[in-house]
Structure 1
Amino acid sequence: MPKLTSASSDFSEKKKSKIKKNASISFETALNDLEQVVTRLESGNLSLEEALNEFERGIKLTKQTQKTLLEAEQHVKILLSDTPDAKLNPFTLDSE
Structure 2
Amino acid sequence: MTEIRNMSFEDAMKELEATVGKLEHGEATLEESIALYERGAALRQHCDAVLRQAEERVEKITLAANGQPAGTTPVEGL
TM-score range relative to shorter protein:
0.7 to 0.9
Per-residue CA deviation, residues 43-93 of structure 1 (Å, 9 max, x unaligned), is: 1121110000000000000000000001111111xx22717xx8x6xxxxx
Deviating runs (4+, > 4 A) in structure 1? none
User: Equivalent residue for 1:63?
Assistant: 45
Superposed CA RMSD in Å reads 2.0
Tell me how far apart the structure 2 counterparts of residues 48 and 38 of structure 1 sit (CA, whole Å). Answer: 14
Identity among equivalent positions (%) equals 32
- TM-score of the superposition, structure 1-length normalised? 0.61
Structure in which a larger fraction of residues adopt helix: 1
Count of matched residue positions in the alignment of Structure 1 and Structure 2: 65
- TM-score of the superposition, structure 2-length normalised? 0.74
**What 5-or-longer segments of structure 2 have no aligned partner?**
61-71
SS of residue matched to 1:44: coil
**What 5-or-longer segments of structure 1 have no aligned partner?**
1-17, 89-96
Structure in which a larger fraction of residues adopt strand: 2
User: Equivalent residue for 1:94?
Assistant: none
**Which runs of structure 2 are paired with 1:4-83 in the superposition (5 Å)?**
18=1, 21-76=3-58, 79-80=59-60, 82=73
